[in-house]
Amino acid sequence: MVGKAMINDFQEEIEYRKLALKNDIKKSGGNCARILLALVLSTYGLVFIMTFSIKFIGPMIGFNVVTNLKENIILGLSSDAYNFFAGYFTCIVGDLIAILIAIKTIKVKFRQEIFSKNKSNKMFVLLGATSCIGVGMISSMVYMIYSTIFKILGLNIPQPDFSFPKQNTFLILFLIYVCLVGPILEEIIFRGFILRSMQKYGNLTAMIVSSILFSMFHLNLVQFINPILMGIVLAFIAIKSKSIIPSMIAHIFNNTITFATTGISLLKMPILEYTFGTLYFLVGVAALLLFISKYKSEFLEIVKEDTRILKTHQKVRYSFSGAWSRAYIVFYIIFIVVTMAATNLAK
């Protein structure tokens, strides 16, 4: 009887710890989702406020709000100016709002834990950054597969607009955002607050959750697979380095080389494009293979976590089971469905 009572007490203790861990994971995952929800709602809210202000208040103060798409004018602004202020500027403000909310809600020491001193060597950072090229190529192949399936079904996937502005001022601002400011702010949010806040449940859980949220943050199916795979690589870089500075460098490099490739293709110089494309492919494949070969054992060691109470897949599932998480999932699905419908009904 005594032995049976001890077993029952032990089982009750396990169940209690399991329930406590579930609730804690649910709360932490919800805090992460709340940050993203605040980010996207503030971003699109600012777009609405800006558009409303120009359209309805502008004429009262003598502002010309004419829209002429043939002349690249939207609400009295050049299309480059409108796209920057309604797109990238609002994204910056949304990111900053998300960071402020994260500082208040997530118990992560901003300087000590996020911007701590880099513990990895230069070779690791260099290989990690260049391996992003290979990851991008794998992501592109996966995208080609599911986009082809969509086309067979008669559906087109909405394409995000990454076209280069024609005006020099906005071209420079655009490049500063996509190649520098955007990656820095995103790393602070995803590999900083979100990854760090989930690490107490295990590195693998933190990697998976932060990478899924990184993908959902982009709100389009073109950038669905790439942020997940890239998120895993960037998370590994941040965890091994014990700092997000190396993952920032890798993210900046990835965006810069991607837009450099796009820029070269616009020059209409076949020899240059072919040469660069060949080097891009060879360097990307070689870097990714070398990165995997050199750091595979460390990666496998890092992703080991305690699964005695909850398995990794359970921890990931509970991360997305809270009210805030469900709210963001619903928002994401609605956004994807609406943009898909708008694109395909407009054909």
Question: Would you tell me how many other CB atoms lie within 10 Å of the CB of residue 251?
Answer: 26
Token pair for residue 82? 């409108």
Of 1-10, 229-238, 291-300, give the lowest mean pLDDT range. 1-10
Question: Would you tell me how many other CB atoms lie within 10 Å of the CB of residue 233?
Answer: 24
> Does residue 254 or residue 76 have the better pLDDT?
254
In this prediction, residue 68 carries a pLDDT of 59
Task: Decide if 43 is inside a domain.
Answer: no
Give the separation between CA 214 and CA 72, rounded to whole angstroms: 33
In this prediction, residue 85 carries a pLDDT of 86
Has residue 196 got a pLDDT over 90? yes
In this prediction, residue 27 carries a pLDDT of 94
Q: Which of 180, 190, 192, 197 is closest to 211 using CA atoms?
A: 190
Instruction: Estimate to the nearest angstrom the gap between the alpha carbon of 268 and the chain centroid.
Output: 31
Give the separation between CA 169 and CA 149, rounded to whole angstroms: 40
Has residue 265 got a pLDDT over 80? yes
- pLDDT band of residue 117 (cuts 50, 70, 90) is confident
Mean of pLDDT values over 54-64: 69
- pLDDT band of residue 7 (cuts 50, 70, 90) is low
In this prediction, residue 62 carries a pLDDT of 63
Task: Decide if 214 is inside a domain.
Answer: yes
- Helix (H/G/I), strand (E/B), else coil: 176: helix
- pLDDT band of residue 298 (cuts 50, 70, 90) is very high
Task: Decide if 32 is inside a domain.
Answer: no
- pLDDT band of residue 113 (cuts 50, 70, 90) is low
- pLDDT band of residue 83 (cuts 50, 70, 90) is confident
Q: Which domain holds residue 153?
A: 108-345
Residue 62, sorted as left (phi over 0), alpha (psi -120 to 50) or beta, turns out to be left
> Does residue 324 or residue 59 have the better pLDDT?
324
- Helix (H/G/I), strand (E/B), else coil: 29: helix
Tally of domains in the chain? 1
pTM: 0.91
Task: Please answer whether residues 247 and 182 qualify as being in contact, where contact means their C-beta atoms are separated by less than 8 angstroms.
Answer: no
Has residue 248 got a pLDDT over 80? yes
E strands, the chain, where?
A: 73-74, 77-78
In this prediction, residue 61 carries a pLDDT of 63
